Amino acid sequence: MKSPAEKQNSNLMREMFGAIAPRYDFVTRVLSYGMDRGWKRMGVNNAAVREDAVVLDVASGTGDFCHLVRERLPRAKLIAVDLSQRMVRQAQRRGFGNVVCGDATSLPFPEGSFDCVFIGYGLRNFPDLNKALQEIQRVMRPGGRMVSLDFFLPANRMFRQLYLAFLYLQGAFWGFLLHGHPRLYTYIPDSLSSFVSMQDLTSLLENMGFAPVKARAYIFGDIGLHWAVKE
């Protein structure tokens, strides 16, 4: 299925996330039925990185993963990167001074810079998934961990259509209520319809040379965590 316009145009993507930045955390909690924070904490707790790790949060949004890593590993060095300058400012307000505006497909870091890379709801938004994963892999050290949390297409085709329709109605409601613009959140099911299943992502990571790759599904496989180790 064709990707939505925002996914094909970085300026549109930047504008969209800039518009939702002030309400981003609230909507994330609502659409996850309050479970988002727990999922991210699970991702951090099972990342198995050392206390002084150098950690990158890609598509960081307001810096949730950075906040949780800092709680668990106060000696870790944290760097966050997001495409939206308004998201960057939101993260900085939470005390993450080392936040940069950048593109996940062209990260401004040398090869082998990070012990762990977190991505929260980011992979689904990248215009070229393979390219973004290769770039993330490039900046990871051998033995480094990648942790991703995202929406996925349900494997069951009938349930898939029901799920996308439900997300569309939910997105339209919150987009209109919070911003007077339903499209800001109906983008979610549109972006998801051109994404992959949990198993597809697991296979892709394994084919790229990550090993082992572990995954944990939530809400019937519609949300999932991946932990992948760079060989």
User: DSSP state, 103?
Assistant: B
pLDDT at 164 over 70: yes
Q: What is the CA radius of gyration of the chain?
A: 16
pLDDT on residue 194: 86
Contacts 24+ apart (CB under 8 A), 49-52: 49/73, 49/76, 49/115, 49/116, 49/145, 50/115, 51/75, 51/76, 52/76, 52/77
Beta bridge partners of 45: none
Global pTM reads 0.94
User: 67-101: per-residue pLDDT in tens?
Assistant: 999 999 999 999 999 999 999 999 998 887 699 99
User: 127-137: per-residue pLDDT in tens?
Assistant: 999 999 999 99
Between the alpha carbon of residue 202 and those of residues 160, 177, 214, 224, 231, the distances in Å are: 19, 36, 8, 11, 15
H/E stretch holding 80 reads strand 77-82
User: 197-217: per-residue pLDDT in tens?
Assistant: 999 999 999 999 999 999 999
Q: Domains in the chain and their CATH numbers?
A: 5-153+196-230 (3.40.50.150)
Beta bridge partners of 217: 224
- Cβ contact 139:119 at 8 Å: no
Residue 114 tokens read as 């990070």
Contacts 24+ apart (CB under 8 A), 170-176: 170/31, 174/27, 174/30, 174/31
In sequence order, the 6+-apart residues with CB closer than 8 A to the CB of 139 are 56, 107, 109, 110, 111, 112, 113, 114, 117
pLDDT > 70: percent of the chain: 99
pLDDT on residue 191: 92
pLDDT on residue 1: 62
> At 195, which amino acid appears?
F
H/E stretch holding 203 reads helix 198-207
How far apart, in whole angstroms, are the C-alpha atoms of residue 61 and residue 149?
13
How far apart, in whole angstroms, are the C-alpha atoms of residue 19 and residue 175?
11
